Structure 1
Amino acid sequence: MPANPKYLTHSGWQRFAKISAAILGGYLVTTALHLALAAWTSHVTVIITSAFSSFILWVILMVLAFLPRNGWKVWLIYAGIAIAGFVLAWAGKIYNPNFLN
């Protein structure tokens, strides 16, 4: 059964924003959160479990990117979460000197 056309995105820029946010933005958020988690906990354990958890989180973020109508808002949310994760990883490097040793 084909999709109802009224629910499809008609703008090419919105389609580009959603697809790029799903693939690249989801990957950046996943990487930032795992890096921040590794900075504050046992990084060996996080690296071992990230092989599975990062893929699961990335797929979830890919699906979530297509739910809102505006793809640029998804990019804004994903960029904010990624920046917060990278800042937490940086702070973990400052306050936890055993980061990635």
Structure 2
Amino acid sequence: MPANPKYLSSPWQRVAKISAGFIGGYLVTITFHMALSFWLNHVNVIITATFTGFILWASLMVIAFLSKNGWKIWGIYLLLSLLFSAIIYIGKMCNPIIS
């Protein structure tokens, strides 16, 4: 018995979800941990990032696949990455010795 067409997404939505899960989730994970490293002890953040990085990346990947619209998830992930990048920039301005 074939799948009900109303539950199938278009191929572009599938590509958007897969790329948002892998690439977008990785971008958010890396920028988040980099932003933390400019405000906290960067050695501790790097050591902790080996474990929390995978957990956060996997969680963001699952969220991308559970969403209905892959393009909306891409937008959210890009906005989060830009927010964390701004925090990195402010951290470099406030703590120039670390960078």
Query: What whole-Å deviation, never above 9, does each CA across 1:57-76 have from its counterpart, x for those lacking one?
Result: 00000000012211000000
Q: Which residue is 1:48 aligned to?
A: 47
SS in structure 1 of the partner of residue 79 of structure 2:
helix
Could you say which residue in structure 1 is the equivalent of 2:7? 7
**Distance across 2 between alignment mates of 1:37 and 1:7:** 40
Higher mean C-alpha deviation, range 61-70 or range 24-33: 61-70
Residue 58 of structure 2 is matched in structure 1 by 59
Shift of 1:90: 1.1
Percent identity (aligned) = 52
Q: Quote the Cα distance in structure 2 between the aligned partners of 1:36 and 1:8.
A: 38
Alpha-carbon distance in structure 2 between the residues aligned to 1:23 and 1:99: 30
Q: Greater shift after overlay, 21-30 or 87-96?
A: 87-96
- Taking structure 1 as the reference length, the TM-score comes to 0.89
Q: Which amino acid aligns with 1:8?
A: L
CA offset digits 1:10-66 (Å, max 9, x no partner): x11111000000000000000010000001110010011100000010000000001
- Deviation for aligned residue 1:7: 2.9
Q: Distance in 1 between matches of 2:72 and 2:14?
A: 13
Unaligned runs of 5+ in 2: none
Runs of 4 or more consecutive aligned structure 1 residues displaced over 2 Å after TM superposition: 4-8
SS at match of 2:66: coil
Alignment RMSD (CA, Å):
1.2
Partner of 2:98: 99
Residues paired across the two proteins, number: 96
Q: TM-score, normalised by structure 2?
A: 0.91
